[in-house]
Amino acid sequence: MRMSIPIGYPYLFFLLFVRILAFLASAPFFSQRVVPTQAKIGLAFLLAFVLAPSSPTPFVPDSDMAFFAVLVQEILIGLLLGFVAMLPVLAVGLVGTLVAGAMGMSYASSISPLFPESTTPMSQLYTQLAILVFLLVRADHVLLIGLQRMVDLMPPGQFLSDVIGLSDGLLIDRILAFTSRLWEVSLQMALPVIGVVLLADLALVLISRAMPRMNVFSQSLPLKVAMGLIAIFLSLPYFWPQVAAEMDKTGQQMLMLFR
68-113 pLDDT, tens per residue? Answer: 888 888 888 888 888 888 888 888 888 888 888 777 776 655 555 5
Structural contact between residues 17 and 42, judged by C-beta atoms closer than 8 angstroms: no
pLDDT of amino acid 1: 40
Structural contact between residues 247 and 138, judged by C-beta atoms closer than 8 angstroms: no
pLDDT of amino acid 17: 92
Structural contact between residues 254 and 150, judged by C-beta atoms closer than 8 angstroms: yes
* pTM > 0.85: yes or no: no
Structural contact between residues 217 and 55, judged by C-beta atoms closer than 8 angstroms: no
Residues of the chain falling short of pLDDT 70: 1-8, 106-118, 159-170, 214-219, 258-259
Structural contact between residues 156 and 19, judged by C-beta atoms closer than 8 angstroms: yes
Q: CA neighbours within 13 Å on the CB side: how many for 198?
A: 7
Checking 141-148 for CB contacts under 8 A at 24+ apart, the result is 142/248, 142/250, 142/251, 143/27, 143/28, 143/85, 143/250, 143/251, 143/254, 144/47, 145/251, 146/81, 146/85, 146/251, 146/254, 146/255, 147/20, 147/23, 147/47, 147/51, 147/81, 148/51, 148/54
As a whole number of angstroms, the distance between CA 125 and CA 143 comes to: 23
